Structure 1
Amino acid sequence: MPSVTVDPTGTVLTLATPAGPRRFHAVWLRDNAPDPETRAPGNGQKLIALRDIPADTRIAAAGMRGDGRVEVRFDPEEKTVAFDPAWLEEHAYDHPTPRARGWLPAGVETWDAGLAESVPCGDFAALQGGGAALRDWLGSLMRYGFAKVANAPAEPGALFKVVDLFGYVRETNYGRHFEVRTEVDPTNLAFTGLGLQAHTDNPYRDPVPTVQVLHCLESSAAGGENMVVDGFAAALRLRDENPEAFDLLADHCARFEYVGEEGVCLTARRPMIELAPDGELVGIRFNNRSCAALVDVPFDRMEAYYAAYRRLGEIIDDTAMEVTFRLAPGEAFVVDNTRVLHARKAYSGTGTRWLQGCYADKDALRSTHDAMVRAGRLEAAQ
């Protein structure tokens, strides 16, 4: 059974758990109080602003109730609130500061060519049925950053049904979707038979589309295999080889642009390796075709920056990093465009190769997955 103590000033509560003590500040506890005057019972949104909480909030008393909840009385409001100790443990912030720059949260797993034997894949009909099949497929997509779909309809527009599994289409200047097949005088190199270096899509957008879906309709041309590379694994390999090179790509912005259509001039200024303020690795933007002139690196660091940029490209091009597969008509794959780079091998002008692609956003994907996990926990607890 957990136990609680309060420091003499009333500003810190300590919850003793089997995993060790967890400390919480009085103002944090008050701000996160679950009572119906603080949070709306239906949706959990806060009903008060921080200005409504006294600046001198302190804990007057605390203890364990008979039902196992932690009861806390706050002064000067003289307000009593009960907390679920499991919730407190889950949301504890009293832990060591994360490690080296480029750390990854639990549940994210990096990979290389070894994943080719177990590429995450879901059957379309099973995914449409929801339940564990969809939850687990979405979980794999979040863990690895990509997943395949098999046995979807091999018909135009079917990719929207894939997006419907978890979210909504994000429309761009390319429309709700785009065609990937050979064109005469193409507006984008993606519409040729040339092989493409592994890249993230649309780095010139701000914000970048966070999910991409590619769905195969025809595939009789020789070549044209799809390939994916874990950008997080590539960035961490660079960090382990040369921390200075990693820091250069994380600390200085690159510039990306696209002006391939009349009336369109898309630009973005972001680092190739994006870190959160606490060092978490949160994103990769790598697309040599769309990289504009680099002007945000100091003169005395530019040569070293280019060496780091070159080395990251070499790591991405290493076949030991890639997973390659050929999409058959009715198959699709979904990638986290902030993490996983995708490419295709060159293909011949004979036969046909026709894919349709579209963009969506990762927040809806995460929401669908997390809501399913949450519902499962609630059902199991009943």
Structure 2
Amino acid sequence: MHAQTSRPSANSSTSSVSTTASSAATPPSALPPTPDYDSWPVAVAIAEVTSDSRVLTVTWQDGRVSRYHSVWLRENAADDSTINPATRERILDLSCLEAWPQIAAARLDDSGAVELIMSPEQRTLRFHPGWLRAHDYDNCEDPLAPLVAVETWLGGADAAPDTLDASTFSTTAIDSPEEASTLEPALESLLRKGLVRLRGLPTEPGTLARVAERIGPVRATNFGTLFDVRAKPDPDSNAYTSIALPPHVDLPTREYHPGLQCLHCLENSVAGGQAVMLDGFAVADALRQEDPEAFSTLTQVHWRYANTAKTTDYVWHSPMIVLDDQGQLSEVRIADFLRGPLMTDFDLVEEAYRALMALQGLLRQSRFALRFTYAPGDLVIFDNRRLLHARDAFEGDSGHRWLQGCYLERDEVRSRYRMLQRRQRERSLSDA
């Protein structure tokens, strides 16, 4: 690339340009809009830009060098030919362009933004430096990395859920810093460990819905939007009895079983009924280490999950341990009382059951079990596609045990966590 100091002609079909950022401070309002609603602080300014027809190269003041393809830049512009400014949704169809989009000229403008002239349209586009830095795919180690690094955990006598005081949470204003001070660490624990406990909430029925909706929409199922977990006559689930429940996830019978479960304690004066939580990812990792063949089998054989209730008939087939495209743990579907007859290749049946029994043996090991007793006002939120929950039997006539529950999706946790981070960035920019 050959450096130039003058602005290139808009009529040239290709250019190779290098320009240096001005040292003068620039008001944030002078920067161009971005193709989203987020705020992108300019933590590091651009030192210079160079280009050929298909690649823009940005050198930052901290020495990082980033490359962006011309077609990627054209599709991610923020002008009204690319996005609807009212919705920030894309309206550009790249296939409708006359030819492959190329960079005819590139420079840094006085605000520190990148200005491009794109051919064959001869359209001028500007790019916010903070947005470009945040979307530097040339230096991104893993674009699929989770928002918060996943951390597996073991149980034991001294183990307890991450716990936060939420005694004032339900009365804080939505989107306020006070709400964020509780909600952000709670969601971070959910993303990292799959489990968090909020203490001190009111014990009035319906409180759960108001709290859960601060994360996202509640998912309705055949058990309702809010469901009461307590012993009752003519139960339609083992959960609505006083018997012990083995480690399980809820609703594995669904194509997409709920990603998040909330259980809010309204009353608990019974003898027994202690809650048990296990990190299904930790159990799966242990199986992978101790019995790789069993682990492999459980990631491949599709088990039949069935809920043949009196008024509904849900059935789904899935591996018991689900991996993502990178081979990382994505979900577990473990619920012995919701498995129907195994329907698979004849030659796989015995190995499938051997693998199942190896997993069941791990689930009984005390090293994985985190045990605790619900106190009235406790709200336990957990990842239903990762954690297994269980319950000791309790004496039904020894008192009252009443939990209210609901389901949400993992997407809601990630969305709300991103929004909390966005609001923090907006506050930081407004305070600057």
Q: TM-score, normalised by structure 1?
A: 0.86
- Contact residue 278 and residue 387 of structure 2 kept, 8 A: yes
Q: Which residue of 2 aligns with 1:191?
A: 240
Instruction: Structure 1: give runs of 5+ residues left out of the alignment.
Output: none
Alignment of 1:298-317 (within 5 A): 298-317=345-364
- Contact residue 170 and residue 210 of structure 2 kept, 8 A: no
- Contact residue 272 and residue 393 of structure 2 kept, 8 A: yes
- Contact residue 259 and residue 383 of structure 2 kept, 8 A: yes
Quick one: distance in 2 between partners of 1:15 and 1:306? 56
Q: Secondary structure at the match of 1:355?
A: strand
Alignment of 1:103-252 (within 5 A): 106-113=148-155, 116-117=159-160, 119-126=162-169, 128-129=171-172, 130-252=179-301
Quick one: distance in 2 between partners of 1:177 and 1:51? 47
Quick one: distance in 1 between partners of 2:284 and 2:393? 26
Q: Secondary structure at the match of 1:73?
A: strand
The letter of the residue matching 1:228 is: M
After superposing the two structures, state which structure 1 stretch, 196-205 or 120-129, moved more. Answer: 120-129
Quick one: distance in 2 between partners of 1:88 and 1:66? 17
Cα distance change on mapping 1:44 and 1:195 into 2, 3 Å: same
Deviation at 1:249, TM superposition (A): 2.6
Cα distance change on mapping 1:250 and 1:328 into 2, 3 Å: same
Percent identity, aligned pairs only, is 36
Structure 2 residue 105 is matched with structure 1 residue 61: yes
Deviation at 1:295, TM superposition (A): 2.3
Cα distance change on mapping 1:104 and 1:293 into 2, 3 Å: farther
- Contact residue 159 and residue 357 of structure 1 kept, 8 A: yes
- Contact residue 127 and residue 133 of structure 1 kept, 8 A: no
Between the two proteins, the alignment pairs up a number of residues equal to 376
Alignment of 1:275-286 (within 5 A): 275-286=323-334
After superposing the two structures, state which structure 1 stretch, 206-215 or 105-114, moved more. Answer: 105-114
- Contact residue 210 and residue 360 of structure 1 kept, 8 A: yes
Q: Which residue of 1 aligns with 2:317?
A: 269
Quick one: distance in 1 between partners of 2:47 and 2:360? 51
Identify which of 382, 385, 399 aligns with 1:335. Answer: 382
Q: Which residue of 2 aligns with 1:369?
A: 417
After superposing the two structures, state which structure 1 stretch, 320-329 or 303-312, moved more. Answer: 303-312
Alignment of 1:61-80 (within 5 A): 61-80=105-124
Q: Which residue of 1 aligns with 2:91?
A: 47
Quick one: distance in 2 between partners of 1:126 and 1:206? 34
After superposing the two structures, state which structure 1 stretch, 218-227 or 16-25, moved more. Answer: 16-25
Quick one: distance in 1 between partners of 2:92 and 2:139? 28
Q: Secondary structure at the match of 1:148?
A: strand
Deviations 1:40-94 (A, max 9, x none): 3343211223433456222333344443323333222222322234323333334
Quick one: distance in 2 between partners of 1:251 and 1:28? 37
After superposing the two structures, state which structure 1 stretch, 134-143 or 209-218, moved more. Answer: 134-143
Quick one: distance in 2 between partners of 1:98 and 1:306? 36
- Contact residue 226 and residue 406 of structure 2 kept, 8 A: yes
Q: Secondary structure at the match of 1:27?
A: helix
Cα distance change on mapping 1:269 and 1:65 into 2, 3 Å: farther
After superposing the two structures, state which structure 1 stretch, 127-136 or 198-207, moved more. Answer: 127-136
Which has the greater radius of gyration?
A: 2
Q: Which residue of 2 aligns with 1:354?
A: 402
Cα distance change on mapping 1:126 and 1:177 into 2, 3 Å: closer
The letter of the residue matching 2:240 is: F
The answer to which structure, 1 or 2, has the higher relative contact order (CA under 8 A, 6+ apart) is 1
Deviations 1:243-302 (A, max 9, x none): 44433333343221101222x111122222223334343322211111122324x44444
- Contact residue 103 and residue 280 of structure 1 kept, 8 A: no
Deviation at 1:373, TM superposition (A): 1.3
- Contact residue 70 and residue 82 of structure 1 kept, 8 A: yes
Q: Which residue of 2 aligns with 1:380?
A: 428
Quick one: distance in 2 between partners of 1:180 and 1:145? 21
Q: Secondary structure at the match of 2:124?
A: strand
Cα distance change on mapping 1:73 and 1:209 into 2, 3 Å: same
Structure 2 residue 322 is matched with structure 1 residue 322: no
Q: Which residue of 1 aligns with 2:4?
A: none
After superposing the two structures, state which structure 1 stretch, 108-117 or 133-142, moved more. Answer: 108-117
The letter of the residue matching 2:392 is: K
Alignment of 1:25-44 (within 5 A): 25-44=69-88
Instruction: Structure 2: give runs of 5+ residues left out of the alignment.
Output: 1-45, 173-178
Cα distance change on mapping 1:294 and 1:75 into 2, 3 Å: farther
Q: TM-score, normalised by structure 2?
A: 0.77
Quick one: distance in 2 between partners of 1:80 and 1:25? 16
RMSD across aligned C-alpha pairs, in angstroms?
2.9
Q: Secondary structure at the match of 2:181?
A: helix
Quick one: distance in 1 between partners of 2:93 and 2:328? 29
The letter of the residue matching 1:224 is: G
Cα distance change on mapping 1:31 and 1:290 into 2, 3 Å: same
Q: Which residue of 1 aligns with 2:9?
A: none
